[in-house]
Chain A
Amino acid sequence: MQLTNRSKLVVKKEMNFWERMYLPAILGGVMITIRHLFRRKSTVKYPEKTREISSIWRGQHVLKRDDKGAERCTACGLCAVACPAEAITMTAAERKKGEENLYREEKYASTYEINMLRCIFCGLCEEACPKEAIFLTDRIVTTDYSRTGFVYGKDKLVEKVDDRIDVTKRQTLAVQEFKQQKQLSHNK
Chain B
Amino acid sequence: MAKVTIDGIEVEVADGTTILNAARQIGGDVVPPAMCYYSSLKETGGKCRVCLVKVTQGSAKDPRPMPKLVASCRTPVMDGMVVQNISSAEVLEARKGVVEFLLLNHPLDCPICDQAGECDLQNLAYEHGAAKTRYEEERRTFEKIDIGDKIKLHMTRCILCYRCTFVADQLTNNRVHGVLNRGDASEISTYIEKAVDNDFSGNMIDVCPVGALTDKTFRFKSRVWFTKPLDAHRDCPTCSGKVVLWTKGEEVLRVSARKDQYGEVKEFICNECRYDHKNMKDWVVEGPRHIERNSVISQNHYEKIDLQKLKLEVDRQLTFQKGKQLPQSNTSQA
Residues in chain A within 8 A of chain B (CB atoms) = 74-78, 80-81, 92-94, 105-107, 130-131, 183-186
Contacts and interface: CB of A to CB of B under 8 A. Distances in A.
B280 interface: no
Contacts of A186: 108, 133
Q: Which 8 A-B residue pairs are closest in the complex by CB-CB distance?
A: A76-B111, A77-B223, A92-B220, A107-B112, A183-B136, A74-B111, A107-B220, A130-B111
Contact of A94 (B135, B139, B220, B226): B220
B312 to A, nearest CB: 31
Nearest to A178: B132
Contacts of A130: 110-111
A77 B136 CA distance: 29
Interface residues of B, number: 21
Nearest to B224: A77
A76 B220 contact: no
Nearest to B137: A185
Interface string B307-333: 000000000000000000000000000
Interface string B219-256: 11111011000000000000000000000000000000
Given A76-B112, A185-B136, A186-B133, 20 more contacts: A74-B111, A76-B110, A76-B111, A76-B223, A77-B222, A77-B225, A77-B226, A81-B226, A81-B296, A92-B221, A92-B222, A94-B220, A107-B112, A107-B220, A130-B111, A131-B111, A184-B133, A184-B135, A185-B133, A186-B108
B138 interface: yes
B278 to A, nearest CB: 18
Contacts of B219: 94
Interface in B120-177: 133, 135-139
B23 interface: no
A80 B226 CA distance: 9
